[in-house]
Amino acid sequence: MNRGELIHQIKTKQSYLCVGLDTDINKIPKHLQSTTNAVLQFNKAIIDATKDCCIGYKINVAFYEVLGAKGWDYLAETLAYIPSTHLKIADAKRGDIGNTSAQYAKTFFETYAFDAVTVAPYMGEDSIRPFLEYENKFTIVLGLTSNIGANDFELLKTSDNKFFYEKIIEQTASWGTPENLMFVVGATQSNQLVYIRKLIPDNFLLIPGVGEQGGSLKEVSEFGLNDNVGLIINASRAIIYASSKEDFAEEATMVAQQYQHAMQPFLNQ
């Protein structure tokens, strides 16, 4: 999927919602937990329930790796079930150098055919370059995260009185273009979005943390949207665990629709 196709999907769906498939076998409804391929059954039901309201899915690789070889099978089958019209993000946060980085890029862009993958930028350009060499793929760089630990490094001031995250975003943006680079910005950091948009006015931002983690859809949309939308809001637990009962899919639809309806006014301003 390229940038133009993504923008078209957002405008057609009137939604910039991405559903996070952070599927934990211990949190899915109990009536599924003892069934064969419970994770896959759950994921398929969530995808069927939300595909009309969202433009993409983010698979958090950690929730599949933990299950060993079977988990990777679930990941592959989940990926294959997602419609081709939807952006497919591997939330893997990889970051290494040389041939190792090239193998990570090949894993998520060829072996598993994701459209995008999250990466950590702290080892520099050679750790990201192999991902950027793929056409019609997105490298999503950790920009400013919403965890407490962001204060340890990302929000430190540098010698020229900039935040460290600003230096990271500014430098990383020069390695690619809005056609192949996105950035992760936590929703609880919406007060920083004005500065981030000055640094990268055209790149898409992947925004986790709206809802369950306290981020405001209104604030993120007002500060983060650009002329070509430029935002993807990820929601995971609020949607996939909207109910722990047999009506979990119906409840997931309702919550996804609420996000979609809340986004429409911002797209039509």
- Angle of the 69-81 helix axis to the 38-50 helix axis, nearest 10: 20
Please confirm, yes or no, whether 157 is among the known catalytic residues. no
Find the catalytic residue in 93, 106, 162, 167. Answer: 93
- Cβ of 71: how many Cβ atoms within 10 Å? 18
CB atoms closer than 10 angstroms to residue 169: 24
CA-CA distance, 50 to 123, in Å (whole number)?
36
Cβ distance 131 to 105 under 8 Å? Answer: yes
C-alpha dist (Å) from residue 10 to 21, 49, 264: 19, 18, 10
Q: What whole-number distance in Å separates Cα of residue 120 and Cα of residue 117?
A: 10
Q: Which residues are catalytic?
A: 93
